[in-house]
Structure 1
Amino acid sequence: MAIILIIDDDLHIGNVLEETLTNEGYGVIRAYSGTEAVLLFSQTKPDLVLLDLMLPGLSGEEVLTHMKGIPVIVISAKVDVEHKVDLLLGGAVDYVTKPFHTKELLARIAVHLRTFETLGKAGILTFEEIELDIDTHIVKIKNAEIKLTRTEYAILKLLMQNPTQVISKSQLLDRISEDTPDCTESSLKTHISNLRKKLREVSGKEYVEAVWGIGFKMKTE
């Protein structure tokens, strides 16, 4: 299930969007100001963002600079072409003008989620000395191959795809469910412990860290 973050201080529009997206099978989280959105984004990683520009706190333009590595669709009443161009060049994948047609917005969301997923599945992920080949599922540290279980691989891939983000336990379970449906809340701790041990045995380093009360992330020096 894809998770979509709605950033809009207009309760009516936000409620309509949430109801529409929920009915389409998406998970929804919301932020009502630019400052709240940036804080939320530092703690979680949605699959796509719907961003209003006229926000209390940080403006939508300022929020956009923090939304790296994720598709952002700007939804705004501003229609100035130059402004749209600046936002698209600044990192947004699309610009939808208010008022918008729900079916068109849903189509754009589906397209960008599909495109981003395809791009994310190509190539090799790297984090310091770890290399993870998404096509072959081979994980190496200093050219030494690490034998991981299906669940350990899915956990490591998700963390490496979001190296600066703390991934909560619930998000981790939800987002690896397609790759490894056998992982449960009760077994997650064991899978992560085994993954950390395998990486440590080869590298002598801790690559995955627990963030108390929140979840897990890749460990940086």
Structure 2
Amino acid sequence: MSISLNHNSRRILIVEDDEHINTILHDGLTAAGYQCTQSYSGSEGMLNLAEREYHLIVLDLMLPGLSGEAFMHRLREEMKCRIPVIVLSAKDKLGDKLDLFMLGADDYVTKPFELEELLARIQVHIQRTAAVEPVNEFRYKNLVLDCTAYSVKLHGIALPLTRQEFRIVELLVRNPTRVFTKQDLYELAWEEIYLGEDKTITVHVSNIRSKIKAHDSESYIDTVWGIGFRLSP
């Protein structure tokens, strides 16, 4: 049996450290009509989530660094993100499955798995959330971020932000509880490897603050000393 889908506008994030399995997932889901992003660690998955929106996540548990369980906790508890998550794991005990559902997983597929079964489960979850359109406008205090128009307005006045400044504001506003390191912001906003140049991010954040302060006295971006930046509570 083959499953033919026409969901080329639906994006799936794959978080799987096994290169062979990751490739099988990518090729199979792409052939079924999905846009896929491959991540090989929990931390890389989190960076991809910060950069764009996804309709579903396929998540392995045994990941280097940030484990699948820790990934789920951060996704649901810290980021308050409700993207459907299908977990892949060799663990098949009922207790393990119940623990994952308690963490917020939407479904569970035991390794080794059949691609047809996974595709069927993905289709079910995609259809359940298909009526919910992606959010392209975000509001924070007196600021409105429009991801479609690439604009940031404060009290209705457009802020003259550079491309990197817009990306920094977008990352912060879309992830209001997350603390971004300077490395995170640089690699996501510049799409280049971070070489430890702290002044670049600091200067850009300072410029953003100055442009906001010209129209609003409230604090919008906090410095988390020794780590990076986040939205002000």
* TM-score under structure 1 length normalisation: 0.60
> 1:175 aligns to what?
none
1:26 Cα offset (Å) = 0.8
Question: CA 1:219 to 1:97, structure 2 compared with 1: closer, same or farther past 3 Å?
Answer: closer
Matches of residues 1-221 of structure 1 in structure 2 within 5 Å? 1-67=9-75, 68-118=81-131, 120-121=132-133, 127-128=139-140, 156=146, 159=147, 191-192=149-150, 196=152, 200=154, 203=156, 211-212=164-165, 214=167, 217=170, 220=173, 221=220
Does the 8 A contact of 2:51 with 2:171 survive in 1? no
* Partner amino acid, structure 1, of 2:170: K
Question: CA 1:112 to 1:83, structure 2 compared with 1: closer, same or farther past 3 Å?
Answer: same
Task: Give the RMSD, CA atoms, in angstroms.
Answer: 3.4
* Partner amino acid, structure 1, of 2:54: P
Q: How far apart are the structure 2 equivalents of 1:90 and 1:17?
A: 23
- For structure 2, which runs of at least 5 residues remain unmatched after alignment? 1-8, 76-80, 174-219, 221-233
Q: How far apart are the structure 2 equivalents of 1:92 and 1:81?
A: 14
How many residue pairs align between the two structures?
Answer: 160
* Partner amino acid, structure 2, of 1:72: V
Question: Secondary structure, in 3 states, of the residue corresponding to 2:43?
Answer: helix
Does the 8 A contact of 2:41 with 2:63 survive in 1? yes
Does the 8 A contact of 2:13 with 2:37 survive in 1? yes
Question: Secondary structure, in 3 states, of the residue corresponding to 1:66?
Answer: helix
Give deviations 1:68-96, integer Å, cap 9, x for gaps: 22111101110111111121121111111
Give deviations 1:1-56, integer Å, cap 9, x for gaps: 11111111111111111110111111111111122222222222222110000111
* Partner amino acid, structure 2, of 1:100: F
> 1:145 aligns to what?
none
1:204 Cα offset (Å) = 5.3
- For structure 1, which runs of at least 5 residues remain unmatched after alignment? 131-140, 142-154, 160-171, 173-190
Q: How far apart are the structure 2 equivalents of 1:209 and 1:69?
A: 31
Question: CA 1:112 to 1:211, structure 2 compared with 1: closer, same or farther past 3 Å?
Answer: farther
1:213 Cα offset (Å) = 8.3
Question: CA 1:57 to 1:218, structure 2 compared with 1: closer, same or farther past 3 Å?
Answer: closer
Q: How far apart are the structure 2 equivalents of 1:15 and 1:4?
A: 13
Q: How far apart are the structure 2 equivalents of 1:126 and 1:36?
A: 24
Q: How far apart are the structure 2 equivalents of 1:219 and 1:21?
A: 30
Give deviations 1:146-202, integer Å, cap 9, x for gaps: xxxxxxxxx94xx5xxxxxxxxxxxx6xxxxxxxxxxxxxxxxxx44xx65xx55x6
